[in-house]
């Protein structure tokens, strides 16, 4: 619908979810939060969807919380629960998620970027953890951001609120790739094609493995990983993948 703030379009197994609230720099207003959660849940429940691309209209990917709206709400209605839900949906999605940024991201928007499996931005995009400069703490987004960043860089950027560019975002682990604006679509498509070659159950299990804390004891870790490996080696998905390899064809999940 034309008046939606979030659009979801599925094409060839890719669900493109677009933030479309340029009047407030795609800030996480109450309405946008609700629509984004619905779009994510719809994509995750759709068996035709293999991966998600989170993108935006306008010049800004996401400016974080809608501060104008927040000033008129009480603390219980400022997305305290909804923002963690959104970030967690992206982080725990069994389907790969690509964040595509043609422009800046700030504060809560960076929580979404960090939660995505792959994050690609135009070189012109800028970033900042600006919370301390308005008297708040980047607490919620730290859950997904800190696992991505080098500790020394995290201390600097969280405490200073300094604006940094896409090249530095790649260097510190916030982004996977920074390209020219003209190359952005092609770079996202390149990652999407690679992700689409992965088997759905194997991708979901690999994502879960990557985000699960590892036990300190190496024997326990090996035992857990052997069980995981054996379970998937014995699956029909693995059997199809190995048949396809032997027959020099693409497996059934590759469109």
Q: How far, rounded to the nearest angstrom, does the alpha carbon of residue 166 sit from its chain's CA centroid?
A: 16
Q: Are residues 117 and 232 in the same domain?
A: no
Q: What is the pLDDT along the chain (255 residues), one digit of tens a residue?
A: 568 999 999 999 999 999 999 999 999 999 999 999 999 999 999 999 999 999 999 999 999 998 777 666 554 555 567 899 999 999 999 999 999 999 999 989 999 999 999 999 999 999 999 999 999 999 999 999 999 999 999 999 999 999 999 999 999 999 999 999 999 999 999 999 999 999 999 999 999 999 999 999 999 999 999 999 999 999 999 999 999 999 999 999 998
Whole-model pTM: value is 0.94
At a CB cut-off of 8 Å and minimum separation 6, what does 149 contact?
A: 157, 172, 173, 174
Helix or strand run (H / E) with residue 99: strand 97-101
Structure token pair of residue 101: 């940024």
Q: Which of 196, 216, 231 is the last residue of a domain?
A: 196
Q: Are residues 186 and 208 in the same domain?
A: no
Q: Are residues 63 and 165 in the same domain?
A: yes
For residues 36 and 42, what is the distance between their CA atoms, to the nearest angstrom? 10
Q: Answer whether residue 139 is part of any domain.
A: yes
Q: Are residues 175 and 224 in the same domain?
A: no
Q: Answer whether residue 130 is part of any domain.
A: yes
Q: Are residues 133 and 159 in the same domain?
A: yes
Q: Answer whether residue 225 is part of any domain.
A: yes
Q: Are residues 52 and 29 in the same domain?
A: yes
Q: What is the pLDDT of residue 77?
A: 56
Q: Is residue 107 exposed (0-12), middle (13-18) or buried (19+ Cβ within 10 Å)?
A: buried
Host domain of residue 22: 6-196
Q: Are residues 71 and 46 in the same domain?
A: yes
Is 131 noted as a catalytic residue in this protein?
A: yes
For residues 217 and 121, what is the distance between their CA atoms, to the nearest angstrom? 38
Q: What is the pLDDT of residue 3?
A: 87
For residues 92 and 118, what is the distance between their CA atoms, to the nearest angstrom? 13
Q: Are residues 190 and 97 in the same domain?
A: yes
Is there a contact between 21 and 27 (Cβ–Cβ < 8 Å)? yes
Beta bridge partners of 127: 105, 164
Q: Are residues 49 and 20 in the same domain?
A: yes
Q: Are residues 145 and 38 in the same domain?
A: yes
For residues 227 and 21, what is the distance between their CA atoms, to the nearest angstrom? 46
Q: Answer whether residue 101 is part of any domain.
A: yes
Q: Answer whether residue 140 is part of any domain.
A: yes
Q: Answer whether residue 255 is part of any domain.
A: no
CATH of residue 63: 3.90.226.10
Q: What is the total count of domains within the chain? A: 2
Q: Are residues 69 and 100 in the same domain?
A: yes
For residues 190 and 202, what is the distance between their CA atoms, to the nearest angstrom? 20
Q: Are residues 181 and 205 in the same domain?
A: no
Active-site choice (55, 69, 131, 187): 131
């Amino acid at each position: 619908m034309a008046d939606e703030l979030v659009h979801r379009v599925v094409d060839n197994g890719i669900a493109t979810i677009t933030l479309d609230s340029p009047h407030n720099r795609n800030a996480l207003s109450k309405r946008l939060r609700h629509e984004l959660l619905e779009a994510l849940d719809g994509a995750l429940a759709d068996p035709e969807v293999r991966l998600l691309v989170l993108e935006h209209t306008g010049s800004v990917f996401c400016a974080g919380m809608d501060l104008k709206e927040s000033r008129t709400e009480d603390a219980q209605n400022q997305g305290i629960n909804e923002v963690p839900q959104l970030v967690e949906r992206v982080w725990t999605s069994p389907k790969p998620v690509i964040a595509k940024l043609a422009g800046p991201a700030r504060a809560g928007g960076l929580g979404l970027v960090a939660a995505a499996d792959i994050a690609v931005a135009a070189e012109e995009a800028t970033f900042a953890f600006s919370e301390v400069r308005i008297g708040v703490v980047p607490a919620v987004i730290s859950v997904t951001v800190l696992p991505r960043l080098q500790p020394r860089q995290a201390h600097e950027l969280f405490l200073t609120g300094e604006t940094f560019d896409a090249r530095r975002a790649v260097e510190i682990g916030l982004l996977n790739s920074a390209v020219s604006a003209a190359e952005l679509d092609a770079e996202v498509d390149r990652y999407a094609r690679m992700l689409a070659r992965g088997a759905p159950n194997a991708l979901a299990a690999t994502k879960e493995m990557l985000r699960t804390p590892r036990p300190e004891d190496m024997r326990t870790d090996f035992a857990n990983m052997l069980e995981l490996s054996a379970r998937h080696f014995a699956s029909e998905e693995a059997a199809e993948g190995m048949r396809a390899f032997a027959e020099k064809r693409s497996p059934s999940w590759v469109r």
